[in-house]
Chains A and B, each alone.
Chain A
Amino acid sequence: MSATTAVGRSGAESWRVLRLPLLITCVVVLGVLVVMIATAARTSGPFSPDSAEPTGAKALASLLENHGVNVVGTEELRDAVGAGSDRTLLVAPGGSLSRSDWQRIADARWSHVVLLRPSARALDVLAPGVQDVSLGLPKGSRAPDCDLKAAVQSGTATVSGTSYSAPDSAQACYGDGINHTVIRLETEGRIVDVIGSPRSFTNAELATDGNAALALNLLGTHLELVWYVPQFESSNTADDDSDGGKPLIPPDVRYVAWALAFAVFVVALWRGRRLGPVVAERLPVIVHAAETTEGRARLYRRSRARDRAAAALRESAIGKLHKAHGIPRRAEPAAVVTTVAARTGRDPAMLYELLYGWPPVDDAALISLSQELDLLTQEVRRP
């Protein structure tokens, strides 16, 4: 009999009951994780190789892959500063790369770097001599108008956007004769392409004119293409070229904080565990028997029912006088007054007024009435 007194399931029983649901949950979670990892886009946003939006560049990326180029999309700066020989690096517009970031990219010895609408900082480091002239080129189909083989083969292309002035050593194409949107520069054994109209290569506009051909010719120089989409927080301010300064909190403190949090958790477990559940029970209603009388007193007070209060007090006093003087129950008021007056020596007229008079006109009158009645009954009781 004692074997059955235990409450709840034993460990073995719980395991037997829970193992199937646990297994199913594990399988489902694992499956979802695998699917998510398999289909996860590594990059996102405008001009991302994984984005199928009109502003994305998935079309270009898959076109390149169809032509045997291995496109690696990334949002991490460390992928853009890795070993670079015989590979192409494409830097999408946007982001907040600092000068030192650009310097690290330059130091990575890429054999071919393509900059899409680069900032002045990037131009300074990677394409000295090329300058943003801050003149937007109106949208339109233009001829290459240069000697760059990739451009000449592509024919006309629809370009628009930023244009640059190029040094004499550079090959500048697709411009209005003075400024150009596609500029190729060869410095330090590295080819740097500056392209001012990335919009031409987006999903929306890739198919127009010779845009696709131009993109393939420019980007297909190597079989490996690293497609870097800079992010705004990718730059690490702590080791930036700026002074930075010491952090406000020493880095060790957070480990101590974690250890402390664990200790607090253990202490909470220790203090928080009850020795069995709280026992509940039905309790009876508690009503004081005098509740209704007290309620009526409050009602009298709120409605200033001096007449009713006085009547009750008088009746009660008369009752006591009846008992004390042996006056018959149904005696006339006059008989009561004469008997009591004779016993107590009070003035019968005042006694009549006290016992059978008008209701008190104000609170003070009620108080004095109650005190006089009290005196009268006590007087009667005493002798």
Chain B
Amino acid sequence: MVVTGRAGALAAVGVVFVALLMPRWAGVGLVVAVVVLVCLVDILLAGSPRRLQLSREGDTAVRLGEQAVVTLLVANPRRRVKGLLRDAWPPSAGVQDPPHQLDLPTGERRRLTTHLVPTRRGDRQAYRVTVRSIGPLGFAGRQGSHNVPWTVRALPPFKSRKHLPSRLARLRELDGRTALLVRGQGTEFDSLRDYVPGDDVRSIDWRATARRGNVVLRTWRPERDRQVAIVIDSGRMSAGRVGDAPRLDHAMDAALLLAALATRAGDRVSLLACDSEVRADVRRPAPEDVLPSFVNALANVDAELVQTDFRVVVSQVLERLGQRSLVVLLTGLDPAVIEESLLPVIGPLLRRHVVVLASVADPRLTEMEESHADLIEIYGAASAARTRLDRERVTAVLTRAGVTVVDENPDHIAPALADTYLALKKAGRL
């Protein structure tokens, strides 16, 4: 049951009426009776919001920052319904539209479109559809809600995909598949082919040349079908905000770029998001399925405020990798955590696999370290310098232990990790 501004205006006119014409109890009673009666009649004549039939169709997934369109089908088998319709979603679903105006005569259907621009990763569930049906007089009406479930999944944005073409070009160079006449780099023997003027003479296979009578070239390519395990730390280390997003989101971005690149390079990628327990787990999907499955698995992973248990991480990784593989660990570079939790347990992993530790650095620290305007800032600079020195120290310890460390600002972490991968591939360390 709702009343409109008209009912308020009618009551206000009633005040004037009482003041000028009937300053008696009877006048007050008359005004109240008229307003109540008009509203009751209007409510009785209004179409019932409960009788509407609603259903939905539209997008079920959208990249964070892009727009999803969800359509609401409203059918009215009964009396005309005129008024407002609100399609309610949680605030972070980012509903763009104001409540819809609805005018639905008997037996007709309408298609109402809701535009969503989610502001956070994860599943966003439609809450309720509330319909306010105003009676023909426009004084009052009825209101009712419907549960029309729908879920829109906001996927990680994968902003770093702009870096993919350049890295793929370098991969092709590495592969020897470019139009350039350079020797394919890598350690795995690929094929023999005839010499073309311009080829690198160092690649000539003299033995084959002697057998065939004409000059034959030996081509190489990097190893293929290696395993890459990407481990994302979803514990408290990833909860801290760097710029406008948590470390976790930057880590996901880097993971997606690496996964895309490694898949194109012919490697098998698997994904693990883990804190004290496993939050997302994708094991060696088909190459064409890598990005969709990763993005879906990561959509609902949020940083938990618990300390990551690296014993779980190590045992999980060891369990799923048979041959020598690349393990990429996306976590924070907190000296205490690394020294006390990671280093004691990482031994088995280092013995069998190549380990890369990637961490998102905070540009705020650099900013702090470079400002010396007053005493407060100098203490800030000293503290930031101490943090950086600690990070450098722990980086050195990790490097000595055989871990490749990538510590870059959020804008650079994804390409830097991709470059590290390419460098390892080029060096034949996989």
Which residues of A are in contact with B by a Cβ distance under 8 Å? 1-3, 5-8, 10, 252, 255-256, 258-260, 262-263, 265-267, 269-270, 273, 275-277, 279-281, 283-294, 296-298, 300-301, 308-310, 312-313, 315-316, 319, 363, 366-367, 370-371, 374
A276–B148 Cα distance when bound, in Å, is: 14
B316 within 8 A of A: no
A288–B246 Cα distance when bound, in Å, is: 8
B145, A370: Cβ atoms under 8 Å? no
A309, B50: Cβ atoms under 8 Å? no
Known contacts: A270-B5, A276-B130, A287-B239. The answer to whether A260 contacts B15 by CB under 8 A is yes
Told that A269-B7, A289-B241, A293-B387 touch, could you supply 19 new A-B pairs with CB distance under 8 A? A7-B144, A259-B11, A259-B14, A263-B12, A266-B8, A270-B5, A277-B128, A280-B90, A285-B239, A287-B239, A288-B364, A290-B362, A296-B383, A301-B375, A309-B382, A312-B386, A366-B375, A366-B378, A370-B382
A316–B383 Cα distance when bound, in Å, is: 11
Known contacts: A287-B240, A310-B382. The answer to whether A262 contacts B32 by CB under 8 A is yes
A283–B25 Cα distance when bound, in Å, is: 54
Q: CB within 8 A of B86: which of A3, A267, A276?
A: A276
B53 within 8 A of A: yes
B22 partner residues in chain A, CB cutoff 8 A:
255
B11, A284: Cβ atoms under 8 Å? no
Known contacts: A2-B54, A275-B99. The answer to whether A300 contacts B372 by CB under 8 A is no
A7–B145 Cα distance when bound, in Å, is: 5
A128–B128 Cα distance when bound, in Å, is: 84
A296 partner residues in chain B, CB cutoff 8 A:
383, 386-387
Known contacts: A1-B55, A263-B12. The answer to whether A289 contacts B375 by CB under 8 A is no
A319–B380 Cα distance when bound, in Å, is: 18
Known contacts: A255-B27, A367-B375. The answer to whether A315 contacts B389 by CB under 8 A is yes
B383 partner residues in chain A, CB cutoff 8 A:
293-294, 296-297, 300, 309, 312
Chain B residue at minimal CB-CB distance from A10: B50
Q: CB within 8 A of B7: which of A1, A266, A279?
A: A266
B195 within 8 A of A: no
Closest Cβ of chain A to B51, distance in Å, is: 8
A269, B3: Cβ atoms under 8 Å? yes
A363–B379 Cα distance when bound, in Å, is: 10
Closest Cβ of chain B to A341, distance in Å, is: 23
Chain B residue at minimal CB-CB distance from A296: B383
B392 partner residues in chain A, CB cutoff 8 A:
319
A363 partner residues in chain B, CB cutoff 8 A:
375
B89 partner residues in chain A, CB cutoff 8 A:
279
A59–B384 Cα distance when bound, in Å, is: 95
Known contacts: A263-B11, A286-B241. The answer to whether A7 contacts B54 by CB under 8 A is no
A313, B144: Cβ atoms under 8 Å? no
A259, B379: Cβ atoms under 8 Å? no
Residues of B109-133 whose CB lies within 8 A of A: 120, 127-130, 132
B375, A276: Cβ atoms under 8 Å? no
Closest Cβ of chain A to B135, distance in Å, is: 14
B31 within 8 A of A: yes
B8, A263: Cβ atoms under 8 Å? yes
B23, A255: Cβ atoms under 8 Å? yes
A287, B143: Cβ atoms under 8 Å? no
Closest Cβ of chain A to B308, distance in Å, is: 15
Closest Cβ of chain B to A210, distance in Å, is: 55
B19 within 8 A of A: yes
Known contacts: A273-B143, A275-B132. The answer to whether A316 contacts B239 by CB under 8 A is no
Residues of B139-173 whose CB lies within 8 A of A: 143-148
A277 partner residues in chain B, CB cutoff 8 A:
88, 128
B365 within 8 A of A: yes
Judged by DSSP, the binding face of A is helix
B386 partner residues in chain A, CB cutoff 8 A:
296, 308, 312
Residue among B128, B146, B380 with the highest chain A CB neighbour number at 10 A: B380
B394 within 8 A of A: no
B369 within 8 A of A: yes
Residue among B53, B89, B383 with the highest chain A CB neighbour number at 10 A: B383
Chain B residue at minimal CB-CB distance from A295: B383
Residues of B233-254 whose CB lies within 8 A of A: 239-242, 246-247
B91 within 8 A of A: yes
Known contacts: A270-B7, A289-B364, A366-B375. The answer to whether A5 contacts B382 by CB under 8 A is no
B382, A7: Cβ atoms under 8 Å? no
24 contacts between A and B (CB under 8 A): A7-B128, A7-B144, A255-B23, A255-B24, A256-B19, A256-B23, A259-B14, A260-B15, A262-B32, A263-B14, A269-B2, A270-B8, A276-B128, A276-B145, A279-B127, A285-B305, A288-B364, A290-B364, A293-B383, A294-B368, A297-B384, A310-B382, A312-B383, A370-B372
A291–B242 Cα distance when bound, in Å, is: 10
B28 within 8 A of A: yes
Closest 8 CB pairs of A and B: A276-B130, A2-B53, A289-B240, A309-B382, A252-B23, A263-B11, A316-B385, A297-B383
Chain A residue at minimal CB-CB distance from B370: A374
A138–B369 Cα distance when bound, in Å, is: 103
B35 within 8 A of A: yes
B303 partner residues in chain A, CB cutoff 8 A:
284
B28, A259: Cβ atoms under 8 Å? yes
Q: CB within 8 A of B378: which of A265, A266, A367?
A: A367
B148 partner residues in chain A, CB cutoff 8 A:
5
Residue among A6, A7, A273, A288 with the highest chain B CB neighbour number at 10 A: A6
B143, A275: Cβ atoms under 8 Å? yes
B329 within 8 A of A: no
A270 partner residues in chain B, CB cutoff 8 A:
2-5, 7-8
A260 partner residues in chain B, CB cutoff 8 A:
15
Closest Cβ of chain A to B71, distance in Å, is: 15
Known contacts: A10-B50, A266-B11. The answer to whether A289 contacts B372 by CB under 8 A is no
A258–B24 Cα distance when bound, in Å, is: 10
Closest Cβ of chain B to A154, distance in Å, is: 53
A253–B228 Cα distance when bound, in Å, is: 85
Closest Cβ of chain A to B326, distance in Å, is: 26
Closest Cβ of chain B to A360, distance in Å, is: 10
Closest Cβ of chain B to A331, distance in Å, is: 16
Closest Cβ of chain A to B219, distance in Å, is: 40
B130, A275: Cβ atoms under 8 Å? yes
B146 partner residues in chain A, CB cutoff 8 A:
5-7
